[in-house]
A and B are shown apart, each in its own frame.
Chain A
Amino acid sequence: MADLRNNFVGIKSPNPFWLASAPPTDKAYNVERAFKAGWGGVVWKTLGEEGPPVVNVNGPRYGAIWGADRRLLGLNNIELITDRDLYTNLREMKQVKMNWPDRALIASIMVPCEENAWKSILPLVEETGADGIELNFGCPHGMSERGMGAAVGQVPEYIEMVVRWCKQYTRMPVITKLTPNIADIRKPARAAKAGGTDAVSLINTINSITSVNLDTFSPEPSINGKGSHGGYCGPAVKPIALNMVAEIARDPETYGLPISGIGGITTWRDAAEFMVLGSGNVQVCTAAMTYGFKIVQEMITGLSDWMDAKGHRDLDDICGRAVPNVSDWQYLNLNYIAKAKIDQDSCIKCGRCHIACEDTSHQAITQFVDGVRHFEVMEDECVGCNLCVNVCPVQDCITMVALEPGTLDERTGKVVDPNYANWTTHPNNPMARQAAE
């Protein structure tokens, strides 16, 4: 049995699956249910300043997009931080931590960008026995209009400043949660590191309008005919999040900075992908909001069974394993040549590979052979683009097969070169020519 115990910047949890700071972690009732279901940790829904709590809209807070069979692919929300009294939250956090000492309990915090505001809330949080804090520099809606959340996360100098205050006023580990609504995710990560953060977590949600009602012309979710951009999350954002995690993991300036990976994690596979790209653990929200807390059981068993099958003993064996394989485009091997291959036994003859290639790509897949509907790759036209693989409805029916060095590429008429060669030295690259001259 693989060892799934997680130690993230000194915070221990029985597994690497935490619930992200979000509606599912707003109160003791939900968090207790989550721990009963098996979640390793919880980041409590973001606390605000002492005083009258924020208010939420009283209409729809969520919008969504769906795939086939109305499978939820993307969710957005305009809910703000907790709208419950600070002390109610703190009291409940303390009790839950006492009830579940083996689980991680993190306090997410968002207060104004003033030293005193942070200085005064941190001891209150510390008193609950929480294992750490997460700085909410990510929420893109509502609070950002008041100079908090993503408004801080978009200014690296503010990030560094606030992280520094937090490291100064608390002994708790500090996790800085980053917003993806920024051009280069490495800049806020570097700033957080410069401020002394123990870790970063990402991504928070993405500015989004999920849809527009074509009868009323109101964006969804609609509040009395008007809509406001919300924070986008769920399976649809996973590729964006994976890239941002990898960017930080391989940036020389932040290399080794612990990352809590967030963004559309729905299955154990998603979680494993985040971890091999450099996340020390993962946080989940939308999947739980879609299917309930039980999904963690699939995640735990799936990750464990995969690790057993591959001989990985613990999480350290897998964390960051894919990071060295994330490369700039310019270093990709241009002598690697692959061709699509269609397994005729599993082909159902839908013709989608043909029309995708014919209409939009390289005219490399037949429609008829000897007058019979038959889909086959023409190797002398195939550039190996992988589009047919992606549009084929049958898994593994079309695969990409690498040409062995020494064999002939029928498209170019050249023999496959066994040597690695990339763009930096390619004769068509003017920069490479200049370097040679």
Chain B
Amino acid sequence: MGTTETGILSGRLSPVEYEKNFSDLHPPLDGHEALVAADRCYFCYDAPCMTACPTSIDIPLFIRQISTGNPIGSANTIFDQNILGGMCARVCPTETLCEQACVRNEAEHRPVEIGRLQRYATDIAMRENRQFYQRAEPTGKSIAVIGAGPAGLACAHRLAVKGHDVVIYDAREKAGGLNEYGIATYKAVDDFAQAEVDYVLAIGGIEIRNRMMLGRDFSLSDMLAKHDAVFLGLGLAGVNALRAEGETAEGVEDAVDFIAALRQSATKADIAIGRRVVVLGGGMTAVDAAVQAKLLGAEEVTICYRRGKEHMNASEFEQDLAAAKGVTIRHWLQPKRIIARDGKVAGIELDYTTIADGRLTTTGETGVITADHVLKAIGQTFEADGLGIIALQSGRIVVDGEGRTSLDRVWAGGDCVLGGEDLTVSAVAMGRDAAESINHVLAAASQPAVAVA
């Protein structure tokens, strides 16, 4: 069958090809490679990489620990700041965070491989199931965490460390959130997201209740009645509609669903893909979907983005990755109409766009790209069902510096809050910091009202 048969088909490739295409994008460093890479770190003072990390991992210290043959100590340093350091090592856009800040760029235009070194240390500790944290004396307090994604897991772990009991409610079959359902397969192979959830939960005191959706199975006020505090670590359940003619044709799919299905597939041979795929959007999701479409055996994959290269949310590295995998990225094209034949996608008509007077507008020219599969990656939205009167702005939850919402006893973090960066590592930071804030408030409330004179 191969890549040239028209239609949305599974099994385009041989098992060997699937395995090769969906293996680790950045293979792990072995011991020797890690030492060579670690030797390049200057152990900067007040290191810029550390400042650039949303979770403020002490990067010079953990790299020095690797270089002295202490990867376990190194992992401890990482997990102290970021209990999901293993996943962040895999999915962080390090080229725009720590590695962009590395001073080695100034002299050599090649940073220390911080991400891969972090993976090296955390992999060793997790493989040996080295647990670095013990629960404090039980506080008797119970906290509900809504959403088992990066923010919720980080929050739950820190709360458990403090001695609180945590119940995580999650809408999906498995915990992990986007780590489980939203990450490109080749960035987290070998079911790493589940291994990480298990590693985080090993601290104890955290119960996960799956298939429990806020707004459907319970409300925020239910949670407040049962628990001492609530952390909202919700994802973005909604997707933006194309609002173009033909959107309902067979073969038009949301990229997030496509990516989630891929992640849940063992062999990838069961995931159907078109011969000519058009991906709409300019973010990481668009790139992840496009690259994986290509890896599934699509003959042509084209990303169409309605603005210029410089406006794309996908990082330079991601764009280069897409190009290297054979994906074509086209700019200044906005979908006008899905062309359907017999109810199935046959192509897409696009408007050429430009910016006039600071506003995006169409030029009047149009073009058609033949396609049998269209993946929409044009943004996700937060659906605030069941949250009651919580303050929102621009469709997201408003929080203060500690993650407190407008409601008493309710904190929030991750993609659902205003000002989030749509990054795993930022979600972890917000979850962790909210846990500290929750602990602080609960501890203060437990103090005797009157001190003994």
- Residues on the B chain within 8 Å of A348, using CB: 103-104, 106-107
- Residues on the B chain within 8 Å of A350, using CB: 42, 44-45, 47, 103
Minimum C-beta distance from A189 to chain B (A): 40
Instruction: Give Cα A394 to B45, complex, Å.
Output: 15
Nearest chain-B residue to A355 (Cβ)? B45
Instruction: Give Cα A309 to B104, complex, Å.
Output: 33
Instruction: Give Cα A248 to B5, complex, Å.
Output: 86
Verify if B36 is at the interface (C-beta below 8 Å from A): yes
Minimum C-beta distance from A358 to chain B (A): 8
Instruction: Give Cα A70 to B34, complex, Å.
Output: 12
**Known contacts A348-B104, A373-B48: A68-B42 contact under CB 8 Å:** no
- Residues on the A chain within 8 Å of B46, using CB: 351, 355, 367, 373
Instruction: Give Cα A350 to B103, complex, Å.
Output: 6
- Residues on the B chain within 8 Å of A351, using CB: 44-47
Verify if A354 is at the interface (C-beta below 8 Å from B): yes
Pairwise interchain contact A354-B45, C-beta atoms closer than 8 A: yes
Verify if B218 is at the interface (C-beta below 8 Å from A): no
Verify if B35 is at the interface (C-beta below 8 Å from A): yes
Give 1 or 0 for each of B26-46: 1 = CB within 8 Å of chain A CB: 000000000110011011111
**Known contacts A68-B39, A69-B36, A70-B35: A352-B107 contact under CB 8 Å:** no
Nearest chain-A residue to B40 (Cβ)? A68
- Residues on the B chain within 8 Å of A349, using CB: 44, 48, 103, 106
Give 1 or 0 for each of B251-279: 1 = CB within 8 Å of chain A CB: 00000000000000000000000000000
Instruction: Give Cα A237 to B35, complex, Å.
Output: 25
- Residues on the A chain within 8 Å of B36, using CB: 69
Instruction: Give Cα A73 to B43, complex, Å.
Output: 21
Give 1 or 0 for each of A68-100: 1 = CB within 8 Å of chain B CB: 111000000000000000000000000000000
Pairwise interchain contact A69-B39, C-beta atoms closer than 8 A: yes
Instruction: Give Cα A33 to B112, complex, Å.
Output: 40
Pairwise interchain contact B107-A394, C-beta atoms closer than 8 A: yes
Minimum C-beta distance from A375 to chain B (A): 10
Q: How many A-B residue pairs have CB under 8 A?
A: 38
Pairwise interchain contact A352-B42, C-beta atoms closer than 8 A: yes
Give 1 or 0 for each of A329-356: 1 = CB within 8 Å of chain B CB: 0000000000000000011111110110
- Residues on the A chain within 8 Å of B39, using CB: 68-69
Instruction: Give Cα A351 to B40, complex, Å.
Output: 15
Verify if A393 is at the interface (C-beta below 8 Å from B): yes
Nearest chain-B residue to A359 (Cβ)? B45
- Residues on the B chain within 8 Å of A367, using CB: 45-46
Nearest chain-A residue to B105 (Cβ)? A348
Minimum C-beta distance from B424 to chain A (A): 27
Instruction: Give Cα A434 to B426, complex, Å.
Output: 71
Give 1 or 0 for each of A391-405: 1 = CB within 8 Å of chain B CB: 001100000000000
- Residues on the A chain within 8 Å of B48, using CB: 349, 373
Instruction: Give Cα A70 to B107, complex, Å.
Output: 22
Instruction: Give Cα A348 to B111, complex, Å.
Output: 12
Minimum C-beta distance from A211 to chain B (A): 12
Minimum C-beta distance from B284 to chain A (A): 29
Instruction: Give Cα A355 to B48, complex, Å.
Output: 14
Minimum C-beta distance from A75 to chain B (A): 20
Instruction: Give Cα A350 to B39, complex, Å.
Output: 15
List A residues 89-113 near B (Cβ within 8 Å): none
Minimum C-beta distance from A391 to chain B (A): 10
Pairwise interchain contact B106-A352, C-beta atoms closer than 8 A: no
- Residues on the A chain within 8 Å of B35, using CB: 70
Give 1 or 0 for each of A54-76: 1 = CB within 8 Å of chain B CB: 00000000000000111000000
Instruction: Give Cα A352 to B43, complex, Å.
Output: 8
Instruction: Give Cα A351 to B51, complex, Å.
Output: 13
- Residues on the A chain within 8 Å of B106, using CB: 347-349
15 pairs, CB–CB < 8 Å, chain A vs chain B: A68-B39, A68-B40, A69-B39, A348-B103, A348-B104, A348-B106, A349-B48, A350-B44, A351-B46, A351-B47, A352-B42, A354-B45, A367-B45, A373-B48, A394-B107
**Contacts from A to B (Cβ < 8 Å):** 68-70, 346-352, 354-355, 367, 373, 393-394
With contacts A69-B36, A354-B45, A367-B45 known, what are 4 further pairs, Cβ within 8 A? A347-B106, A348-B106, A350-B47, A350-B103
Ranked nearest first, the 6 interchain pairs of A and B with the lowest CB-CB distance are A351-B45, A355-B45, A348-B106, A68-B39, A348-B103, A350-B44
